[in-house]
Structure 1
Amino acid sequence: MPTILFIHGHPFDRSMWQPQVDRFTADGWQVLAPDLRGYGASPVTEGTVTLPEFAADLVALLDREGVDRAVVCGLSMGGQIAMELVHTYPERVAALVLADTSPAAETAEGRANRRRIADDITANGMAGYARDLLPGMLAASTIAQRPDLARYVLEMMTAAPARGAAAALRGRAERRDYGATLLTLELPALVVVGTEDAFTPVDEAEATVKMLRNGRLVVLDGAGHMPNLEATDAFNAALEHWLRSTGIR
């Protein structure tokens, strides 16, 4: 049975993928959408959790489920974990989906900022951080026109375990550059981005797909950093069409 592994972003949990879990399970896929270490119902590791550690956790999940290779789909931090997975365990990845993410290593300024935020949320919790982050996660039109979705995303971020989110931020600050990895990939790859994404603008997604020998770009109009929730039907349709084009099923 073909398998899709969905990897959530920061500071979210597996529930952000529920519309995709429902759609692709109904379409006959085996779907895995775990809570990453330190998020949702998963146990928290204090201090720092690196992207290689997250990737190793996911390979252990594939092993437990008896899955040799999966379509790996990650959003934002989840996309960077997906790139780490295909960098370190290429034999476990059948195809790659990178949603609203970047292969670049963190800048010095970015590393310092992530460490500062990690210390702040460890000391003060997630509530203020989540409120400040919401306008970057969703398009302004989404927040104005879909208050229920905005409230759901805010509540999901606020509920993230602060020490787990902080550990991931510290680890993410140390991530490698995945550009060289993408340049060598032969497997099918899909890059998805929202036109209103403030964190990963469309031009960055265009640069990413140019690195891929077998890549395709989908731009979703009006969506911000979470197009799988903001433009669910279009996101699902694009993913389904691309999956069929790969011949994986």
Structure 2
Amino acid sequence: MATATIGDITIGYDDEGTGDALVLVHGHPFDRSMWRPQFAQLSRAGWRVIAPDLRGYGESTVVPGKTTLDVFARDIAGLLDRLGVERFVLGGLSMGGQIVLECHRLFAHRLRGLVLADTSAPADSPAAREARRATAKRLVSEGMGPYAGEVLHKMVSRDAPSEVAAHVLAMMHGTDPEGAAAALRGRAERPDYVAMLRAVAVPALVVVGAEDEFTPLADARLMSDAILDATLVVVEGAAHMPNLERPADFDEALGDFLVKL
């Protein structure tokens, strides 16, 4: 556990293991602790695993207003510059996966491979943009509790182990509403990444939970079909967070992918 000052914010992050760098980006409204199972597995397998808290989440600075994906991407690049990491494999789940795509748009030359978990490439529709803004307004006015209770069993399946559901709920409750709202407002304005997918020149692993309602199999298949060197893995018995619900299956897919790199 460590912190670094990058520009005008402080970023909390974990950095474990030695070897080639694997950077993992958490989703909304979570923090870097969602990658705990992957840290244990992959740092022992010879990877240097780095996971930051995005601005507005976890131990990083909360910046109210609007945080667009390019800001998140530049924060990650700044942290990796500070850590002396030039090239790396970059993975993310949900919003984290969209940040991975934004990093590819901004600095593809630094990426050795992509891991796109339970995420989607198209821009939001007008209706979806308005829904994100409405949710942002609601989080600020109500706090995280009501929202967390409503979405828990879309984040993880109803058959998820109780400790997994408790961890996911705790992350959501622990997120600052202003930080989460800023990310939602910025995410509503993200570009469409679909056309860019065919320009991805590094291997990609696309993973999706079979029961994911937020970003279903069709979203994953769109990405895996468009990226030249992509592998699609469907994790049975998992919803939006297969890395926590089915860590053995997720880690096996990720490990097989990393060995090829």
Shorter-chain TM-score range? over 0.9
Query: Hey, what does 2:8 align to over in structure 1?
Result: none
TM-score by length of 2: 0.92
Matched position secondary structure for 1:38? coil
Residues 64 and 179 of structure 2 are in contact (CA less than 8 Å); yes or no, is this contact kept in structure 1? Answer: yes
Residue 205 (str. 1) matches residue 227 (str. 2):
no
2:139 matched to 1:121? Answer: yes
Q: Which amino acid aligns with 1:71?
A: V
Please show how residues 1-249 of structure 1 align to structure 2 within 5 Å.
1-142=19-160, 146-246=161-261
Q: Provide the rounded CA distance (Å) in 1 between the counterparts of 2:216 and 2:61.
A: 33
Q: Secondary structure at the match of 2:138?
A: helix
Give the counterpart letter for 1:7 in structure 2: V
Gaps of 5+ in 2: 1-18
Contact 2:121 2:219 in 1 (8 A): no
Aligned residue identity for 2:242: P
Deviations 1:62-120 (A, max 9, x none): 10110111100000000000000011111111100000000010110111011011011
**Secondary structure in 1 matching 2:67:** coil
Measured after TM superposition, the shift of residue 140 of structure 1 is 2.3
Higher helix share: 1
SS at match of 1:163: helix
1:115-161 CA-to-partner distances (Å, cap 9, x unmatched) read 0110111111100011111111011222xxx2221112111101101
| Shift in Å, 1:26 | 1.2
Residue 186 of structure 1: CA displacement?
A: 1.3
For normalisation by structure 1, the TM-score amounts to 0.96
Aligned CA-pair RMSD:
0.8
SS in 2 for 1:185: coil
SS at match of 1:84: helix
Q: Is the partner of 1:105 in helix, strand or coil?
A: coil
Give CA deviations for 1:33-82 in whole Å, capped at 9, x if unaligned.
Answer: 01000000101111000000000000001101101111000000000000
The amino acid that maps onto 1:67 is V
The question of whether the paired residues in 1 share the 8 Å contact of 2:32 and 2:58 is answered with yes
Identity %: 48
| Structure 2 counterpart SS, 1:141 | coil
Counterpart Cα distance in 1 of 2:216 and 2:158: 15
Say how many residue pairs are matched: 243
CA distance in 1, matches of 2:173, 2:181: 13
Residue deviations 1:165-215 (CA, integer Å, cap 9, x gap)? 000000000010111111111100000001000111112211210010011
Range with greater deviation from structure 2 (219-228 or 179-188)? 179-188
